[in-house]
Chain A
Amino acid sequence: MSPIVLKLVSQRIALGLMLLLAASALIFAGTQILPGDVAQSILGQSATPEALENLRRDLGLNEPALTRYFNWLSDALRGDLGTALTNGKDIADSMSGRLQNTLFLAASAAAVSVPLAIFLGLLAVQFRNRWPDKLISAVTLATISVPEFILGYVIMYVVAVKLRWLPSVSILRPGMDFGDKLEAIAMPVIVLTFVVLAHMMRMTRAAILNVMESAYIETAELKGLSAFQTIFRHAMPNAISPIVNVVMLNMAYLVVGVVVVEVVFVYPGMGQYLVDHVAKRDVPVVQASGLVFASVYIVLNTLADIIAILANPRLRHPK
């Protein structure tokens, strides 16, 4: 790697770390603005003033907010995410399981949707403005426009309730082998694929069409390459940068934004985990999850930048 690339990458990483710090402060401030606290949420309607006070004291909620934030920060910097206020479970422990599930679902959905989207994009370019192009656009735009829970319910009703091909709940149990797990998440993967397909497909189509105007594409055509080869070998590498950006954005969505799909298919991912703890004002968990989500975004965006740099000769070899 050339020094210039190294410099660009290290700048990105430093910026990312600063963003993480800022995100943690923002999240903490946000949780302080929310009405009520964790003690009230835990005890709910059965809270007596004494029980509330005892719980608050035990959980350290009587400390000033700033003290709590810096205590948390210094622990987090030492790699200790602490324990959840609500159920006393180790956050790193319970979150790692959830995170694995989320990454598994996201990776499976990406493994299906990214190649499919790019392939459909290329296909659309080749048949541009003819019926295959219009069909692909119409179908993918339709699936992205339907709210994902409706899509989920429809697929669940047909596939799980009527046909009984797949389980309607995607709960993972210990001892499931890889095949069982894939079967369990098949329906959410289908829904997520529908949700992210259009965006990536259309960006692929637009970016490549843009490149297709260039003179070197004409040259490739003149030297007798087939249309698909021209697109794949000559147009694609030059169009990669915007495509990678969109792919990364969608992958980040698959990790952090799928809470609705998680709820519909009862999938034990990070989204539901975060929402539950926000509802209960469990600040340490919200902080930890927020950091993970922010990291995912930052890492994927940095990755997109690096790929764009590497793919682009002008950035690789600056004058």
Chain B
Amino acid sequence: MSRTTNKPTGLSRRGFMGRASALGLMAGMTSIAPLFAAEPVKGGHFVLGLKGGESTNSLDPALSLSQVIFSVLRGWGETLLNVAPDGGLHYRLAESVEASNGGQSWHFTIRQGVKFHNGETLTAQDVLKTMERHSNDDSKSGALGIMRGIESMSVDGDVFTVNLTTASSDLPYLLADYHLVIQPNGGIDDPTAGIGTGPYRITENEPGVRHAFEKFADYWDDSRGHYDSYEILVINDDTARAAALQSGQVHAINMVSPKTANLFGRAPGISIEPTSGRGHYVFVMHTDTAPFDNKDLRLALKYAINREEMVEKVLNGYGAVGNDTPINDAYPLFDETIPQRAFDLDKAREHYAASGHDGSPIILRVSEAAFAGALDAAALFQQSARAAGIPLEIKREPADGYWSEVWNKQPFAASYWGGRAVQDQMYTTAYLSTADWNDTRFKNAEFDAMLLQARAELDVGKRKDIYGQMGRMLNEEGGLINPMFNQFIDGLQSKVTGWEANPNGEQMDGFTAIKTWFE
């Protein structure tokens, strides 16, 4: 059992922020050195032009999905913790975290004196209600999946306690999920009110058009929220977004197209910020459906894909090669010793012959909805597979309805994963036998057992070992063909200061407007 507490000192900018030394995981690392030498300048009106907003967007955090609403949530609301750029934890509405019972019970001490935008004071009760709303039987929350392992929750004074069905060393990471913004009384009365404890109050909410914010005067943390006001303009068209940045109408944009990023970065007064994250562009095979239930056929396809070429041509170099697991070095406890699978047509041919496939076309379903450049990637894959004698055929699917009709339904399809905060969460989401989104139908009792073992393992070295074994197993037997990890590519006006690459998400994990300032 261990405990860390970080009291605001008033002087240190990052005084509040510390790291979880959960279960002794990161013991001794209780604070982060200031990342910027310059003291932030207050004031100004910041304008963000973002792709990924629709007129249908709701302010209800439970129903938040696309990029714009993710950034909107970061403005008006806060979670108990944030995952730090280096993979540690920043304490936000939770002041400290303590585990007991071997990681089966977690106690979050709620920060005192934090005000909601409606003037009420944050209590542990609000936290409890929020978590209940996201996890009870009636929940329609996007966070329901990560709340599954919770057995019970309770409040004692200013301590919020979560009891799990099985021990997990990663619970604080799960509760840092962006959906889990604390709302007064859990947002039960009006989930779409947009009232939270965030540094900015939402003043105008026109979904799909713009969201405007002004500084919340009673915000508790002086190290965030430097602008007097900011607004998010929804600019879904790539060219329009680029033009808005170039013409000075917005100060920052997200999702710069890899194809134009190089040209664009040369424009004066503008910088391009590529950030390596955990997102990956993949092809998923159902390992329980013929012909993909044959390990040799899967390996043949894995060897027949030219990863370097894809990173070069599909991502224009803004990314890194994948290794048929969802994990890369942006995750804590990544095992870098797993050998990288190389493009090897001879091996592909060997495995294809060993699979005894009858030569009928292997159909890969693709849509531009899967990821930007999916059709190009599939075409490259088809060419290299054919060179190995594998009869890969592409079936183009409509973008509309792709996620509901093709992905996770058809046995071989293009897909995208945004990644998760920790390995446990990623594996639990999509590789556990019982996972809802097990889009490779990977069902392996040994793998499941290792996952649970790692979750409860207190020794970091042993955990890393287990994760390494799991990675090797997926790499060899899984249904995931992961050719590449993409980068987030954001564009900035050079007068925006304080940019900090954050592998957890685009736009500094949604905090651009919260953590930057005008020089």
Interface residue from A47, A58, A167, A174 paired with B249 (Cβ < 8 Å):
A167
Interface residue from A41, A48, A282 paired with B404 (Cβ < 8 Å):
A41
Residues in A with CB closer than 8 Å to B57 are 86-87
The smallest beta-carbon distance between A84 and chain B, in angstroms, is 7
A54 lies within 8 A of B139 (CB): yes
Evaluate whether A88 and B58 lie within 8 angstroms (CB atoms) in the complex, with A43-B142, A54-B140 already known: yes
Evaluate whether A276 and B235 lie within 8 angstroms (CB atoms) in the complex, with A40-B403, A265-B240 already known: no
The smallest beta-carbon distance between B366 and chain A, in angstroms, is 16
Residues in B with CB closer than 8 Å to A97 are 206
Evaluate whether A40 and B404 lie within 8 angstroms (CB atoms) in the complex, with A48-B144, A161-B247, A263-B237 already known: yes
A50 lies within 8 A of B139 (CB): yes
Residue of A nearest to B236 (CB): A263
Evaluate whether A273 and B208 lie within 8 angstroms (CB atoms) in the complex, with A43-B63, A58-B140, A157-B243 already known: yes
The smallest beta-carbon distance between B105 and chain A, in angstroms, is 24
A161 lies within 8 A of B140 (CB): no
The smallest beta-carbon distance between A156 and chain B, in angstroms, is 5
Task: Count how many chain B residues have C-beta atoms less than 8 Å from C-beta atoms of the other chain.
Answer: 49
Residues in B with CB closer than 8 Å to A264 are 237, 239-240
A98 to B209, CA, bound (A): 10
Within 8 A of A (CB), among B243-262: 243-244, 246-250
The smallest beta-carbon distance between B215 and chain A, in angstroms, is 18
| A19 sits at the interface (CB 8 A) | no
Residue of A nearest to B203 (CB): A174
Interface residue from B49, B54, B65, B208 paired with A46 (Cβ < 8 Å):
B65
The smallest beta-carbon distance between A135 and chain B, in angstroms, is 31
B240 lies within 8 A of A42 (CB): no
**Per-residue contact bits, chain A 75-90, to B (CB 8 Å; 1 contact, 0 not):** 0000000001011110
Residues in B with CB closer than 8 Å to A88 are 58, 60, 192
Evaluate whether A171 and B233 lie within 8 angstroms (CB atoms) in the complex, with A46-B142, A51-B140, A277-B56 already known: yes
Residue of B nearest to A163 (CB): B247
A276 lies within 8 A of B56 (CB): yes
Interface residue from B56, B139, B141, B244 paired with A86 (Cβ < 8 Å):
B56
A35 lies within 8 A of B403 (CB): no
Residue of B nearest to A97 (CB): B206
The smallest beta-carbon distance between A97 and chain B, in angstroms, is 8
Evaluate whether A87 and B59 lie within 8 angstroms (CB atoms) in the complex, with A51-B144, A173-B210 already known: yes
B54 lies within 8 A of A167 (CB): no
Residues in B with CB closer than 8 Å to A263 are 236-237, 240
B249 lies within 8 A of A168 (CB): yes
Within 8 A of A (CB), among B482-515: none
| A22 sits at the interface (CB 8 A) | no
Residues in B with CB closer than 8 Å to A282 are 56
| B400 sits at the interface (CB 8 A) | yes
B145 lies within 8 A of A48 (CB): yes
B139 lies within 8 A of A35 (CB): no
Q: Which residues of A contact B (CB under 8 A)?
A: 34-37, 39-52, 54-55, 58, 84, 86-89, 94, 97-98, 153, 156-157, 160-161, 164, 167-169, 171, 173-174, 263-266, 268, 272-273, 276-277, 279-280, 282, 285
A36-B405, A88-B192, A89-B207 given. 6 additional CB < 8 A pairs?
A49-B436, A86-B57, A87-B59, A88-B58, A277-B56, A280-B54
Could you pull out 28 A-B pairs where Cβ atoms are within 8 angstroms?
A36-B401, A36-B404, A39-B140, A41-B56, A42-B63, A43-B63, A44-B403, A46-B145, A47-B142, A48-B145, A50-B139, A51-B141, A87-B57, A87-B207, A88-B60, A98-B55, A153-B243, A164-B247, A168-B240, A168-B243, A168-B247, A168-B249, A263-B240, A266-B237, A268-B209, A272-B55, A276-B56, A277-B56
